[in-house]
Amino acid sequence: MTYLLGHDPAELARLEHQARLLAPATGTILRLAGIEPGMRVLDLGTGAGDVALQVAELVGPTGSVVGIDQSDRPLALAAHRAEQRGLTNVSFVHDDLHTVPVTGTVDAVVGRLVLLYLPDPHAVLRRFADRVRPGGTVAVMEYEMGAAGTVPPTELSARVTHWITESFRRSGLDAHLGARLAQVMRTAGFADVTTLGVQGYREIGDPDGPRMAAGIVRTLLPAIEKTGVATPAEVDIDTLEDRIARDCVDNDAILKTPTLVGAWARVP
Ligand SMILES: C[S@@+](CC[C@H](N)C(=O)[O-])C[C@H]1O[C@@H](n2cnc3c(N)ncnc32)[C@H](O)[C@@H]1O
């Protein structure tokens, strides 16, 4: 399956911005899932390496992280960022998760915003779970995109959430995968799954929320148009970030980013 979002420079910048907003929630989920100093960890679909770099800090110099991704452009950025931060305990492998040779044992497997794009996430989870030592951890994170919007709800925020969730659905992807994550883990063979969703709220006047929402729509624009969810004129992408920001001010509305849901389980 082609990766829906692509990897041009603007998309990499968007992913970095998104990763900065997601870092507190990601760190919380990783710690609760049991990622700790000294662990050897695999990061599935590492992209520009944001989760791998966060894990590298958590496991410290006595632990290690290997990030795997099928796309070389974000991986080059990931390696560059690791070098800039002086992290020597993280490395990256350019390969497909379905076919990358799986050998040796690790303490944990993690993956954020990657299961969504896999035709058979259960098979990939099982494949990597087999590499985790007994008592080790598998922890995955995905969005519940339907949670995005505003409090109180506004017409524009409902429309933006609809453009996003519907273009995913019409492209054959589940925008609500986060909500179903425990079910995915159970189907992959994990018995005792813990799930936690972390909801971001952006205050009125905080530019990060409108930037994130408009950035997702900009990335999805080809899919939004191709699947007939909205026309370019309806989206008017170049004014969207400002319109969302103004909409929050005009309606005294707090912006909710998609919920990041984590699900994790111990390997028996
Ligand atoms: C939305 S990005 C998430 C990146 C990173 N995990 C994060 O949270 O910032 C999804 C990544 O999964 C990768 N990916 C998708 N399908 C893959 C596959 N079959 N094998 C390896 N990587 C894959 C894409 O190349 C992309 O970098």
pLDDT in tens, 62-100: 999 999 999 998 899 899 989 989 999 999 999 999 999
Domain limits for position 126: 9-266
Report the CATH number at residue 262.
3.40.50.150
Q: What is the mean pLDDT of residues 192-205?
A: 96
Does residue 65 contact residue 85 with C-beta atoms inside 8 Å? no
Dihedral angle at the C-alpha atoms of 160, 164, 167, 169, nearest 10 degrees? -130
**Ramachandran angles phi, psi of 261, nearest 5°:** -105, 130
CA 71 to ligand 1 center in whole angstroms? 8
Q: Is residue 3 a part of any domain in this protein?
A: no
Residue of the nearest CA to atom 12 in ligand 1? 45
Q: pLDDT tens digits, residue range 128-154? A: 999 999 999 999 999 999 999 999 999
**CB of 121 sitting under 6 A from ligand 1:** no
DSSP state, residue 39: -
User: For 14-42, what is each residue's pLDDT tens digit?
Assistant: 788 888 899 999 999 999 999 999 999 99
The answer to the question of residue 4 being in a domain is: no
Ligand 1 lined by 120 (C-beta under 6 Å):
no
Please answer whether residues 186 and 193 qualify as being in contact, where contact means their C-beta atoms are separated by less than 8 angstroms: yes
Q: Is 1 part of any domain?
A: no
The answer to whether the Cα torsion of 256, 139, 167, 238 is positive or negative is: positive
C-alpha 92 to ligand 1 mean position (Å): 13
pLDDT digits (tens, 9 = 90+) for 220-238: 999 999 999 999 999 999 9
Model pLDDT, residue 58: 98
* Residue 56 predicted with pLDDT over 80: yes
Across the chain, what does the average pLDDT equal? 94
Our count of domains for the chain comes to 1
pLDDT of residue 102: 87
Asked, for residue 182, whether it belongs to a domain, the answer is: yes
pLDDT value of residue 137: 97
Instruction: Compute, in angstroms, the gap from residue 123 CA to the centroid of ligand 1.
Output: 16
> Percent of the chain, pLDDT > 70?
97
Residue nearest to atom 26 of ligand 1 (CA): 47
The confidence score (pLDDT) of residue 1 equals 46
